[in-house]
Structure 1
Amino acid sequence: MKTIYLLSILLGMGWAMHAQSSSPPNHSISPQFTLSGFIRDADNGETLLYASVQDEATGNGTTTNLYGFYSLTLPAGTRKIIFSYVGYRPSEIEIHLDLDRELNVTLETAGETLQEVVVEARAADEAVQEVRMSRLDVPVTDIKKLPSLLGEPDIIKMVQTLPGVTSAGEGTSSFYVRGGSADQNLILIDEAPVYEVSHFFGLYSVFNSDIIKSAELYKGGIPAKYGGRLSSLLEVTTRDGNSRQLSGSGGIGLLAAKASLEGPIGSEKASFIVSGRRSYADIFMKLSEDLKDNAMSFHDLNAKVSWKPNQNNRLFLAAYSGRDAWNFADNFGIDWGNTTATLRWNHLFSDRLFSNLSLVYSNFDYKLEDSGGVDAFTWKANQ
């Protein structure tokens, strides 16, 4: 009797396990689709870097990359997406997501008074999206508000005020980061290295504030794609130009003048921007009997052309050329200059795959000449 009772229990357990394993699988998981596109300024068509994109219902979000592109995967259905950026009015767009869609958004600048800042703690189980312990976004919009030598706005002077950065001295364009030397800083303009960043031995830097779009300073944890320096990385990106209308600007300082011109090329698919500076101290030196045989001057020129042939491709060609010249009574002279060029191609393979291909050229040359006396010489160097 005990044997029969035990066998009945085992058979019952086996039938229950078979019934459980034979239950149909759960197919209640909803499909997901990808929403992607570019976020731009409504006034001039410039892409907005690190703009925020968030789904109101789920709280899932992302930010645009260095080229203004975003990609966000969400469950199917009607979603309300919130697009926002500091200094711009947020935009809420309702979209029915039943397949992968492309949504390009323009944001308008906000002229409203900022309210108080509310600081809230993050939830303990919130996933870490990005680590930025040693990276700083240089506030480009505040460059012109910072008092500077000779009244010329300068991004290098702004960098020298950031925490962990020390100026090499008043009136210089060199800086030290966390105890490193000035030559251990990697400085890029549109991905091209700049070997000498000063004009007039540091009174001006090579960066024209009228053409700068963004700047990032890495004081540590430098990405692996950059190399050759130990201390820091300063990456400067220039503007693409106004793709909506032709505009220009100019200015006169104590020692130099500058002018800029930007606008569309044909349709709104292409745009350009050109900006140049030139000192005029050498003109006034000729008015002095004691200094008329001497000359000191600098000039630089930035130019960039952007072209968008279709929704999946963008081409950029950026160039910089600058030079300094110092001559003393036709006996002794120093001149140096930088030349850079960048050809960049952005391609969108799919909603989740974005590529950037860049060809970069950079050259720095330095010339020292002494034509007086028996020890006359000329020394040239290129890098």
Structure 2
Amino acid sequence: MKSAVIVYLPVMLVFLYLPQSFGQENNAIRGIVKDRVSDDPLPGATVYWEGESQNVVVTDTAGFFMIKTDQLPRLLVIKFVGYGESRRQITDKEWDKELKFFLSPEEISLDEVVVSDKREDHHVVSTEIGKNTISASVLKSIPALFGEVDLLRGIQLLPGVNTAGEGTTGLFIRGGSADQNLIQIDGAPIFNPSHFFGFFSVFNPDALHDVQLYKGNIPAQYGGRLSSLIDISLKEGNTQKIRGEGGIGSISSRVTVDGPLFSENSSFVVSGRRTYADIFLGLSSNENIRNNSLYFYDLSGKLMWRKGEKDKFTLSSYYGADYLGLNGQFGLGWANWISSFNWDRNINERTFFDVAAYRTHYNYLIAFSDEDSGFDWSNNFSETGLRGQLTWLADDATEIRAGVHSQLYHFAPINLAPAEGSEIEEINTNPRTGLQNNVFISGIFNAGPKVSLEAGLRWSQYQQIGRGVDYLYDEDDPIGNGSIRDTLDYRFPQRMQHYQGIEPRVAFRYLMGEGLSLKGAYNRNYQYIQIATNSSAGLPIDRWVPAGRYIRPIKSDQFSLGVFKNLHQNQWELSLEGYYKDFDNIVDLKQGATMLFNDNVETEMLSGIGWSYGVEFLLRKNIGNTTGWLSYTWSRVFRKIAGINENEPYNPRFDRPHDVSLVLNHQLSRRVRVSGTFIYTSGVAVTFPIGSYKLDYQRLPLYGPRRNEDRFPDYHRMDVAVTLKNKDKGRWWKGSWNFSIYNLYNRTNPFSYQFTDIYNDQINFAPGPGQEIESVRPGVIMTYLFGILPSVTYNFEF
């Protein structure tokens, strides 16, 4: 810990006290462009001096711009698609001020205004490969389960992203498992991003600004996961007036309010959502149903404050919780609490410094009320981090980033406390703590009109530290007979184990012609914490395990190559990407593994190698009355781990070779929009029994040594939705209705198969007193979750 402080302190001081004149532009005008109605910044607006339309600058993600001039006064022109033009005379009194410009939306436009911080041909000219962006407005237009707009379900429609099956929000990206995705909110990671056991994600769409998915070339400033970065930013409140939006849906309602806080230099946004399934349960005439509880809720907020023209501070927080209670006998609850603080400083026009501090905490509790076997089972884990980054725009073609990042992981002991009088014995495991320090540097360089290069290097250094326990095994082999010969106890902060790794990142872009480019990338990543679980769907009680004496960090190397093309004046985007990724020290559980209350989990985990490869096609239209995309992915995933599948390669459950997604949105008129999605994927890989046997008069399935050599049937589904806006009568309240149908043609996609005896040819027959058994045969019972499912949501804004 002390060594990290010694290394980081001088680096942070250098960042903070760089000379203010470094890279200073004395012959430039600075300003910010905003929407006059919402006060949101307008990234991607064009700015130029009258008579010099060939020398255009574009506003950045915060709506900020800087434009050079040799003399004043001059007339400045600002334009943005879907907004009225701004023309303003700039005098010599405004050299040293940050100017504000407000553009008004054009009411005559029928097309949806797309606000983007990228130039129209960014898809082709950037070095980005394996990256997709989804705005909050696009997410809201996609038909949703129960009418509940869901971020992770929207991401599932992108190429290279698979799921474990119906009713889950777990993401399996380019052959990686769900825990290999870094999902962060305003820079703070989240451990469990789902509500309702994976049916919904924890993200309220009204609180989001945008979402960026990196799956090919993850920037050097991010690390700790192998497969992807899902970077989610909460929107900031406007500084002009109080406004709000929300919705009342089939199973939940939500509301978001934002506005100025103290002055035009500060703002707030508060968002809340709650389901009311428990209310409907309470109305049931069945007492067993009436006494059950089932609900989730989440709250998020963000404060913004600007100090002068150089400093901006934001404080974000999210809290979400779920609870399931069954007739007062069983209860299960879990919660996420995430907070982050960000300080952005403009040292000068070309140098920027960012500091972020965060803490994310996850906990769950299971309670079982019974005189003989009652217990309370609880656990929690957390990550605390500090990140500092310096960005230097050396010139219009070169950008350099460098910084440091420290992370402290703490996995508390799992505690099972028996109820009074219970026959269950108390169980406690030992805590686990990890400290990770990272240093990174990256740059984007234009080596001419055709070639652009992005290169980065990240060094990660991880230590498992005390308080904790290491078990020593006979022949140093925990997988053998698991016989413990000694125990080593460590106090805080003694080092228990140490790992480190160099993570190079490089990408290039070569322009082959008008609107056509070739891109490639290589990425190496290390992951020091992972989930060890028998389930691939993702459960609230999944066990996170840090690297230690017997569990090594996972390493992956990914190579990707793609062709990118824009068509019809950049209205259409076309891409074809291929990738190959290998994994080292990938882990899986041995047959019959027990993880939940096991303090020496290394006796249940096997490690080996893995690899995945695939081709991704994407055709996307972002402009016009009709928008959407068509994606197709062909991919394969393999693992080879000694002790599993007779030591031969096998497919994990989420290996789904074919995946097709079609998303369409069409604006019929100013008031009516229709949308639809179609999904087709190969069935998940599973293990079916090779026979059966009887035990205590019950038939049980018999499984062979081979793993995941069978498959579910192919999955396909179509969803549709219609949004009808109420007539705008000039009132302060505006509303709209969304009517959606999930699984339009009532496809019965299997969720699970049960291999069991079927009595009297009735799958629901339960033998018992007075229930005569006339026939019995072995059979297979298929369970599916959703047939055709209509829903309605009323959305509003004020």
TM-score class, shorter-chain normalisation, is 0.7 to 0.9
Question: 1:201 offset after TM fit, Å?
Answer: 1.5
Report SS of the residue matched to 1:173: coil
Q: Distance in 2 between matches of 1:210 and 1:233?
A: 21
In the aligned structure 2, how far is the partner of 1:338 from the partner of 1:49? 32
Q: Name 2:35's counterpart in structure 1.
A: 41
* Aligned position for 1:316: 314
Residue range with higher mean Cα deviation, 153-162 or 59-68: 59-68
Equivalent residue number for residue 254 of structure 2:
258
Kindly report which structure 2 residues correspond to 1:136-215, keeping only aligned pairs within 5 A, or say none.
136-215=132-211
Distance in 2 (CA, whole Å) between partners of 1:90 and 1:294 is 58
Deviations 1:241-298 (A, max 9, x none): 1221122333211111112222222322222111101111112212332212221111
| Structure 1 Cα separation of the partners of residues 242 and 26 of structure 2 | 43
Q: 1:93 offset after TM fit, Å? A: 4.9
Equivalent residue, structure 1, for 2:729? none
* Separation in structure 1 between the aligned mates of residue 218 and residue 144 of structure 2, nearest angstrom: 29
Shift of 1:138: 0.8
Where 1:156 maps in the other structure, the secondary structure is helix
**Distance (whole Å) between structure 1 residues aligned to residue 195 and residue 48 of structure 2:** 44
**Residues in 1 aligned to 2:39 and 2:243: alpha-carbon distance in whole angstroms:** 13
* Aligned position for 2:302: 304
Partners in 1 of 2:258 and 2:95 — Cα distance?
38
Contact kept? 2:206, 2:246, Cα under 8 Å: no
- C-alpha deviations, 1:158-200, integer Å up to 9, x for none? 2121222234433322222222222111111111111111111
TM-score (normalizing by structure 1): 0.79
- The separation in 2 between residues aligned to 1:364 and 1:224, in whole angstroms, is 27
Does the Cα contact within 8 Å between 2:136 and 2:206 map onto a contact in 1? no
Give me the whole-angstrom Cα distance separating, in 2, the residues matched to 1:181 and 1:69.
39
CA contact (8 A) 2:135 2:209 kept: no
Alignment of 1:1-383 (within 5 A): 33-53=27-47, 57=52, 59-73=54-68, 82-93=77-88, 95=90, 102-111=98-107, 112-113=109-110, 130-288=126-284, 289-372=287-370, 373-374=372-373, 376-383=375-382
Amino acid corresponding to residue 323 of structure 2 in structure 1 = A
- Contact map agreement 1:304 1:319 (CA 8 A) in 2: yes
Structure-2 separation of matches of 1:132 and 1:51: 21
| Secondary structure, aligned partner of 2:348 | coil
State the shift of 1:239 in Å.
Answer: 1.6
Task: Give, as a single letter, the amino acid of the residue that structure 2 aligns with 1:71.
Answer: M
Distance 2:78 2:61 in 1: 16
For the Cα contact (< 8 Å) 1:57–1:80, is it kept in 2? no
**Which consecutive residues of structure 1, in runs of 5 or more, have no partner in the other structure?**
1-30, 116-120, 123-127
Paired-residue identity, %: 35
Equivalences, count? 343
Q: 1:89 to 1:297 in 2, by over 3 A?
A: same
CA distance in 2, matches of 1:356, 1:72: 23
Separation in structure 2 between the aligned mates of residue 272 and residue 343 of structure 1, nearest angstrom: 14
Task: Give me the whole-angstrom Cα distance separating, in 2, the residues matched to 1:370 and 1:84.
Answer: 63
Mean CA deviation greater in 228-237 or 265-274: 265-274
| 3-state SS in 1 of match to 2:29 | strand
Deviation at 1:70, TM superposition (A): 2.8
Q: CA deviation at 1:41?
A: 1.6
Structure 2 vs 1, CA of residues 100 and 272 (structure 1 numbering), >3 Å: closer, same or farther? Answer: closer
Q: How big is the alpha-carbon RMSD for the aligned residues of Structure 1 and Structure 2?
A: 2.9
Q: In 2 relative to 1, CA 168–72 (structure 1 residues): closer, same or farther, beyond 3 Å?
A: farther
What are the Cα deviations for residues 96-119 of structure 1, in whole angstroms up to 9, with x where unaligned? Answer: 78967644322222342459xxxx
1:214-246 Cα shifts (integer Å, max 9, x gaps): 221112211111111111111111121122112
The 1:378–1:99 alpha-carbon spacing in structure 2 relative to 1, beyond 3 Å, is closer
Would the aligned equivalents of 1:34 and 1:101 in 2 still touch at CA under 8 Å?
A: no
**Counterpart code for 1:312:** K
Mapped partners of 1:155, 1:315: distance in 2: 26
Contact 2:258 2:268 survives alignment (8 Å): yes
What CA distance in whole angstroms lies between the structure 2 residues aligned with 1:267 and 1:78? 30
Distance, in Å, in 2 between the alignment partners of 1:204 and 1:271 is: 29
The 3 A distance-change label for structure 1 pair 177 and 43 is same
Task: Describe the SS at the equivalent of 1:142.
Answer: helix
Which whole-Å deviations, capped at 9, do the CAs of 1:74-112 have from their partners, x for residues lacking one? Answer: 666777655444543454556578967644322222342
Letter in 1 for 2:104: E
Determine helix, strand or coil for the equivalent of 2:184.
strand
Does the 8 A contact of 1:100 with 1:351 survive in 2?
A: no
After superposition, the Cα gap between the structure-2 partners of 1:326 and 1:361, relative to the gap in structure 1 and judged at 3 Å, is same
Q: Which moved further from structure 2: 350-359 or 92-101?
A: 92-101
Distance change in 2, residues 1:338/1:48 (3 Å): farther
Change over 3 Å in CA distance of 1:79–1:354 after alignment to 2: farther
Q: What code does the residue aligned with 1:342 have?
A: S
- Cα shift at 1:57: 2.6
Distance (whole Å) between structure 2 residues aligned to residue 60 and residue 129 of structure 1: 18
Q: Which residue of 1 aligns with 2:648?
A: none
Q: Which moved more, 1:268-277 or 1:286-295?
A: 286-295
Counterpart-to-counterpart distance in 1, 2:53 and 2:82: 25
Q: Distance in 1 between matches of 2:57 and 2:127?
A: 14
> Which structure's residues are more often helix, by fraction?
1
Gaps of at least 5 residues in structure 2 are 1-24, 113-119, 383-798
